[in-house]
Amino acid sequence: MPEVASHSLFSNFDIHLFKSGKHYRLYEKLGSHPIVINGVAGTYFAVWAPSANAVYVVGDFNFWQEDHKLNVRWDGSGIWEGFIPGTGKGTLYKYKIHSNNNGMVTEKADPFARSCEHPPRTASVVWKGAHTWGDENWMEHRETRNGLDCPYSIYEVHLGSWKRKNDNEFLTYRELAEDLVIYVKDMNFTHVEFMPIMEFPYDPSWGYQLTGYFAPTSRFGSPEDFKFLVDKLHQNDIGVILDWVPSHFPEDAHGLGMFDGSHLFEHPDRKRGFHPDWKSLIFNYGRNEVRAFLISNALFWLDQFHADALRVDAVASMLYLDYSREEGEWEPNCYGNNENLEAISFIKELNEAIYLNFNGVQTIAEESTSFSMVSRPVSIGGLGFGMKWMMGWMHDTLEYFKNDPIHRRHHQNDLTFSMTYTFTENFMLPFSHDEVVYGKQSLLYRMPGDEWQRFANLRLLYGYMFTHPGTKLLFMGAEFGQSSEWNFETSLDWHLLQYDLHSGIQKLVKDLNRLYKDHPALYEKQFTNEGFQWIDYGDHENSVLTFMRKGINEKDDLIIVCNFTPILRLKYRIGIQKTGKLKEIFNTDDEKYGGSGSTDNKSPKVESISWHGYKKSIALDIPPLGVVIIK
């Protein structure tokens, strides 16, 4: 048997931090690391397998035979390690683990591998690459572009189906660094959010069932290719958000489940360690080494790939012990309630570690319940996220819009209710991939009416969204009115842009993004009630809402009027609190967007007519199914 040399990247302090769950840079120690020892090139391997009685590195270098056995550390850490000469970048390998648990033998991919084989192949790949970053300007000034008082308009992207080649092959990371970057910049989005790019075995999971937590998926190229894409986005002043999944993982044989023949990463109690909806395993958040694994993974993407934010998936499933469980399928915590105290503690530690170690980054919670203080600092009792998805707003708004306009006067509370809780969290308004799959239809075809009204309703929806307090997210295809539901196996329906109504929606979103970036009243105070003021929310009969958005300077204030019916409303009177020159700066019914162009409010005249409790007022022509913005 070839000798595996004794070598270690771990100091005693590293081991202490690991055991206590406080080692947040484990990717620098565990995994496979090409190095040179005494002039001999090879790879240092290290893996955590405390229930093993033998661990072998098997791969293409030894015909997948049990020839190279790692050495277990003496300190009780459960780490096996060793140096294998003659291996290096490109070597395929797995860990073959003989367990103390009933003689079980597992063959596992490396949890810390930097690269993986292209699925359905499952081996890990020894990797060491170099990328010279060119995003210094972005990174240096990121705090002024990625903060909570900055415009945040996100284009959510599934890399495998945004656009494909003529033979339906994927675009590579480097091809996307041309096509996608040019498109996102032209559309004036401030950020892109990538659905999970960490390696995953099963395409229909969309990436939400991970097996390679430290490896960008090989479907589109190498790790350096993905860094090239991030770099290009930053050089064009576009932030990068990564979907991150610490809530569950699949039971695939090469994955984390029963890793060393024991419940190493997953909770051993099936009531807490198995997710009934997704048929997947749930991390054991109370185990120190598992917490260190997950927090190290989060920091890895911020550190090594310059990610600007992590959108944390399925937070609600982590917070509650009874999530998607029936009576008898869960057990309460020590206080007798349904909160997962270990997961809550982990989330707080995660957010503290991220914000302590990186300037100008954000964490964003996809959390669908009324759990309090999700986006409030840990120091005052919050979970510590920077933002939270506003799922209630999304649901209520889409429910409202599906109503025929003639009935909307009975449902105006669906729209106005959001303002009773908008400022309890730092909310992001999402129209995500989840809203255009599984029979829900595209956003366009969730709108009522004939063809013109469908498009007018969609323009109205986007106009209302971009003027409502909170940051914004649109899933790819929504920006040009994709007709069909999203299909992860094919490209978006780009051919629709030959039609005026679809290209009009695209122009509208492009201009709304520009409006959002150019007008501080829409973002400076987007998370505080100082940035919003109702003018009138009670005109149910006409289905009209009027409100103000406010910035730091009064001169930046905007008046927004939304007409949720297809009736043209001439000389609609609105009370105002200030005098001065007014002008219309945006109209979703403009002909260039596919609208009717039926109104003209170029310079509304301020009159001394009391209205809405103000001494002055203006009379506007409000377009059908339209939004007008006055400055």
pLDDT tens digits, 250-288: 999 999 999 999 999 999 999 999 999 899 999 999 999
What is the reported pLDDT for 169?
Answer: 95
What is the reported pLDDT for 102?
Answer: 83
Could you tell me which residues come within 8 angstroms of residue 359 by beta carbon, excluding any fewer than 6 positions away? 142, 143
578 vs 533 pLDDT, higher one = 533
601 vs 13 pLDDT, higher one = 13
Quote the CA–CA distance of 265 and 336 in Å, as a whole number: 25
Q: pTM for the whole thing?
A: 0.96
Cβ atoms 243, 194 nearer than 8 A: yes
CA 334 to chain centroid? 33
Cβ atoms 568, 598 nearer than 8 A: yes
CA 268 to chain centroid? 29
How is domain 12-125 classified at the CATH fold level?
Answer: Immunoglobulin-like (2.60.40)
Q: Where are the alpha helices (DSSP H) in 358-432?
A: 391-401, 413-416
Quote the CA–CA distance of 256 and 311 in Å, as a whole number: 22
- 102 burial type by CB count under 10 A (0-12 exposed, 13-18 middle, 19+ buried): exposed
Q: Give the pLDDT band (50/70/90) at residue 177.
A: very high
Quote the CA–CA distance of 531 and 268 in Å, as a whole number: 48
What is the reported pLDDT for 592?
Answer: 97
Quote the CA–CA distance of 27 and 605 in Å, as a whole number: 64
Across the range 512-520, mean pLDDT stands at 98
DSSP, residue by residue, 154-168: EEEE-TTTSSB-TTS
Which residues is 56 bridged to in the sheet? 69, 96
Token pair recorded at residue 217 = 């998926």
What is the reported pLDDT for 402?
Answer: 96
Number of H helices, E strands in the chain: 12, 28
Residue-wise pLDDT tens digits, 428-444: 999 999 999 999 999 99
Mean of all residue pLDDT scores within the chain: 96
Quote the CA–CA distance of 330 and 322 in Å, as a whole number: 6
Could you tell me which residues come within 8 angstroms of residue 426 by beta carbon, excluding any fewer than 6 positions away? 148, 375, 385, 386, 387, 388, 527
Q: Does domain 529-630 have CATH number 1.10.10.10?
A: no
Quote the CA–CA distance of 373 and 426 in Å, as a whole number: 9
Say how many Å lie between the first and final Cα of the chain, rounded. Answer: 79
Side-chain-facing half-sphere of 619: CA atoms under 13 Å: 6
Residue-wise pLDDT tens digits, 547-566: 999 999 999 999 999 999 99
Cβ atoms 367, 315 nearer than 8 A: yes
What is the reported pLDDT for 2?
Answer: 66
- 71 burial type by CB count under 10 A (0-12 exposed, 13-18 middle, 19+ buried): middle
Tell me the CA distances in angstroms from 146 to 162, 340, 376, 427, 626, one per residue in order. 24, 31, 17, 15, 31
Residue 30 has pLDDT above 80, yes or no: yes
Q: Which of 225, 313, 425, 557 is catalytic?
A: 313
Quote the CA–CA distance of 40 and 50 in Å, as a whole number: 29
Cβ atoms 491, 507 nearer than 8 A: no
Residue-wise pLDDT tens digits, 105-160: 999 999 999 999 999 999 999 999 999 999 999 999 999 999 999 999 999 999 99
Across the range 240-252, mean pLDDT stands at 97
Other C-beta atoms lying within 10 Å of the C-beta of residue 20? 12
What is the reported pLDDT for 587?
Answer: 97
Cβ atoms 371, 348 nearer than 8 A: no
Read off the DSSP letter of residue 353: H
Active site residue 366: yes
Quote the CA–CA distance of 544 and 537 in Å, as a whole number: 7
What is the reported pLDDT for 579?
Answer: 77
Quote the CA–CA distance of 449 and 405 in Å, as a whole number: 9
Quote the CA–CA distance of 551 and 558 in Å, as a whole number: 9
Could you tell me which residues come within 8 angstroms of residue 53 by beta carbon, excluding any fewer than 6 positions away? 98, 99, 100
Quote the CA–CA distance of 623 and 400 in Å, as a whole number: 19
Tell me the CA distances in angstroms from 98 to 27, 101, 212, one per residue in order. 24, 9, 22
Token pair recorded at residue 347 = 């989330």
Q: Could you give the residue range(s) of every CATH 2.60.40.1180 domain in the chain?
A: 529-630
Could you tell me which residues come within 8 angstroms of residue 270 by beta carbon, excluding any fewer than 6 positions away? none
Residue 5 has pLDDT above 80, yes or no: no
Quote the CA–CA distance of 559 and 468 in Å, as a whole number: 12
Other C-beta atoms lying within 10 Å of the C-beta of residue 616? 17
Residue 412 has pLDDT above 80, yes or no: yes
The three-class DSSP label of residue 593 is helix
What is the reported pLDDT for 378?
Answer: 97
Token pair recorded at residue 104 = 């079980």
Read off the DSSP letter of residue 128: -
Active site residue 313: yes
Q: Which of 193, 225, 289, 366 is catalytic?
A: 366
Other C-beta atoms lying within 10 Å of the C-beta of residue 614? 14
In the CATH scheme, what architecture does the domain 150-522 have? Alpha-Beta Barrel (3.20)
Q: Could you give the residue range(s) of every CATH 2.60.40.10 domain in the chain?
A: 12-125
What is the reported pLDDT for 513?
Answer: 98
What percent of the chain clears pLDDT 90, i.e. is strictly above it? 96
Residue 1 has pLDDT above 90, yes or no: no
Other C-beta atoms lying within 10 Å of the C-beta of residue 69? 18
Across the range 284-307, mean pLDDT stands at 98
What is the reported pLDDT for 3?
Answer: 59
Cβ atoms 126, 89 nearer than 8 A: yes
